[in-house]
């Protein structure tokens, strides 16, 4: 519940309903972020230059993650998204997803490069993961150059994931991939993805982020694209190219938060500052909102 009204969500179907005619008293507003992304580990065997995950070794304690999930659920959070690094490199990852799904009513989602998926891993996640995001930056030779893995392998991973849960394709958009958006949308449709999420490249120590010209190309493509797959686009990185006024239906900035593998809660994954979570995660949420 929030100033926008009453938000109903079903984690199995993914259906969201906002009852915006309901006036909710301020004391009943949900205190939790609607969605928390959680970097379980910094470990990942790929070496994408635009990766924002810190390169020092760090991983969250499993029991603390579960306790925080229960606390967030009670405070009105709708979903947790496991990422990293690569979340499937986290020890006993399937068991953690199962425990969170059974102990809370939240959606359990994950973002993965896909290359560790096997039929056994898919079986162990079935019923306890509600949505998967598969990272595919470019197609064919572009993907292989950027990710250093065969494109056929990620296409195989998409086939496996299609038997697990609804899934989407995440694509970092930069000078290498902005010309391949038609091919990416065609790939997403062909493998049965229900969404193509476009992520303008963010600056890291190794890359300057998407250029203004490529950001304009991206927006132009979105405005004219005729795709069968649903499109979603991150505002982060497009600030110069988008209107500053809120877009109708856009989530408030604090609807999402990010917990890094060192246990620091941040407004988003690229934020330089945050609040260490020492005990209660909702206490850290409160401190981050007041910071
Ligand atoms: S696959 Fe993801 S976590 Fe791994 S290096 Fe690439 S961007 Fe980073």
Q: Of the CATH numbers 3.20.20.70, 3.30.300.30, 3.40.50.620, 3.30.420.40, which one belongs to the domain with range 31-290?
A: 3.20.20.70
Residue 258: name the closest of 30, 36, 62, 61 by CA.
36
For the chain, domain boundaries: 1-30, 31-290
Ligand 1 mean position to 174 CA, how many Å?
15
**Residue 248: predicted pLDDT:** 47
Cα 119 off chain centre by: 23
**Residue 261: predicted pLDDT:** 97
Tokens of 103: 């102990």
- Whole-Å CA distances, 72 to 1, 66, 77, 86, 287: 14, 10, 5, 23, 15
Q: Write the pLDDT tens digit of every residue in 26-51.
A: 888 888 999 999 999 999 999 999 99
Q: Are residues 243 and 250 in contact, defined by beta-carbon separation less than 8 angstroms?
A: no
Ligand 1 atom closest to residue 111's alpha carbon, by position in its atom list: 2
Q: Which residues line ligand 1 (CB under 6 A)?
A: 44, 46-48, 51, 53, 84-86, 113, 135
Ligand 1 mean position to 172 CA, how many Å?
11
Q: Write the pLDDT tens digit of every residue in 98-148.
A: 999 999 999 999 999 999 999 999 999 999 999 999 999 999 999 999 999
Residue 85: name the closest of 110, 65, 120 by CA.
110
Ligand 1 atom closest to residue 86's alpha carbon, by position in its atom list: 3
Sort residue 249 into left (φ over 0), alpha (ψ -120 to 50) or beta: left
> What is the model's pTM?
0.91
Ligand 1 mean position to 163 CA, how many Å?
23
- The three-point CA angle 89-90-92 to 5° equals 115
Please tell me the residue having the least CA distance from ligand 1 atom 8: 51
């Amino acid at each position: 519940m929030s100033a926008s009204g009453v938000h109903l969500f079903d984690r199995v179907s993914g259906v969201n309903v906002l009852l915006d005619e309901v006036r909710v008293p301020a004391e009943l507003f949900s205190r939790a972020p609607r969605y928390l992304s959680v970097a379980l580990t910094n470990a990942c065997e790929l070496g994408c230059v635009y990766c924002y995950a810190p390169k020092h070794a760090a991983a969250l304690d499993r029991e603390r993650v579960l306790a925080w999930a229960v606390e967030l659920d009670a405070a009105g959070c709708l979903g947790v998204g496991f990422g990293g690094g690569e979340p499937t490199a986290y020890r006993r990852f399937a068991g953690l997803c199962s425990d969170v799904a059974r102990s809370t009513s939240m959606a359990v989602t994950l973002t993965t490069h896909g290359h560790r998926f096997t039929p056994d891993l898919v079986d162990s996640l079935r019923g306890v993961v509600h949505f998967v995001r598969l990272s595919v930056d470019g197609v064919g030779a572009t993907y292989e150059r950027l990710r250093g893995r065969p494109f056929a392998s990620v296409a195989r991973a998409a086939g496996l994931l299609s038997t697990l849960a609804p899934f989407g394709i995440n694509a970092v958009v930069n000078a290498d991939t902005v010309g391949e958006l038609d091919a990416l949308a065609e790939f997403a449709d062909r493998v049965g993805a229900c969404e193509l999420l476009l992520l303008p490249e963010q600056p890291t120590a190794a890359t300057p982020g998407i250029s203004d010209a490529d950001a304009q190309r991206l927006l132009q493509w979105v405005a004219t694209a005729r795709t069968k797959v649903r499109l979603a686009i991150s505002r982060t990185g497009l600030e110069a190219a988008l209107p500053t006024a809120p877009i109708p239906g856009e989530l408030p900035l604090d609807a999402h938060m990010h917990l890094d593998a060192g246990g620091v809660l941040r407004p988003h994954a690229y934020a330089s500052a945050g609040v260490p979570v020492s005990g209660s995660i909702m206490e850290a949420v409160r401190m981050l909102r007041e910071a």
